[in-house]
Amino acid sequence: MIKKTTPVSKIISYIFLIVLAYIMIYPLLWMIGAAFKTNEEMFGTIGLLPKNPVFGAFAAGWTGTGQYGFSTFLYNTFLMVIPTVIFTVISATLVGYGFARFNFPLKKLLFFIMIATLMLPATVIIIPRYIFFKKLGWLDTYLPFIVPAMLGSFPFFNFMMVQFFRGLPIEIDESGKLDGCNSFVILKDLLLPLCKSAIFSVIVFQFVWTWNDFFNVLIYISSVAKYPVALGLRMTMDISTEFDWNQIMAMSLISILPPVILFFAAQKYFVEGIATTGMKT
């Protein structure tokens, strides 16, 4: 099939792919350019590059106009996302290992339940969760994000790790057992070094999802001092109809950088991880 492909159809494919790539990336390129444009230029022209670039947007947006600048929002986001990601990795690894390598009563049922919760819509439990966290006094803290991560409440990642562990040869565990290692040492010293691609996938996915999360931060975080970028951006946009739009574009740009940088840094492992774990569903 591949050999028979005529050059013409190949050329059409390339044209399609290149045009598509341009369309896909155009909004982002525009965003970069817009951060250096004046309001008039942003909404009057179609060029990506600013003709009379202005450079103040980043500094001005960073300090902000109100009590809290973008630096605070960015710092807050890291404060919320990093522990969430770390605990997700730990809990997903433990739970994945448990399901993949041990036999225990009711295992099949429990595993089925976990898979079923993959499809449980988040909206149906959001209200009782909110009330529960409110009773615990966790509103306006990052605990509603971190504690569920500790408790493996992201079945997607547990499942991903289960699938990954299943793909590792059981002989590794056997050899560890012969050497007298207990199950935790086997996990920590023998299996974990082989889990890089799966763990990077968990890190990238969970970082990106938590970083971009809007609904949950909207309901849980109420004081501006604790706003992550998602809320900070929206607030800046709302209070600034007559604002310098380039500041908002500059801050939007900064806010999407950490996920993009992480993605590129982990890309090799990440794509591999999707390919090995996403397939077995």
Residues 186-205 within binding reach of another protein (CB under 8 A): 204
73 with 234: CB under 8 angstroms?
A: no
Q: Tell me: does residue 148 bind another protein (CB under 8 A).
A: yes
Q: Tell me: does residue 8 bind another protein (CB under 8 A).
A: no
Q: Provide the 10 A C-beta neighbour count for residue 32.
A: 14
What is the per-residue binding string for another protein in 87-126, x denoting contact by CB under 8 A?
Answer: ----x--xx-xxx-xxxxx-x--x--xx--x-xxxxxxxx
- Which DSSP string corresponds to 1-50? -TTT--HHHHHHHHHHHHHHHHHHHHHHHHHHHHTTS-HHHHTT---SS-
What is the per-residue binding string for another protein in 247-266, x denoting contact by CB under 8 A?
Answer: -xx-xxx-xx--xx--x---
* Phi then psi dihedrals of residue 93, to 5 deg: -65, -45
Q: How many residues bind another protein (CB under 8 A)?
A: 99
Q: Tell me: does residue 177 bind another protein (CB under 8 A).
A: yes
Chain center to CA of 79: 15
Q: Tell me: does residue 6 bind another protein (CB under 8 A).
A: no
What is the per-residue binding string for another protein in 35-74, x denoting contact by CB under 8 A?
Answer: -------xxxxx----------------------------
Which residue among 11, 28, 49, 82 contacts another protein (CB under 8 A)?
Answer: 28
Quickly list H helices, 151-195.
155-167, 170-178, 183-185
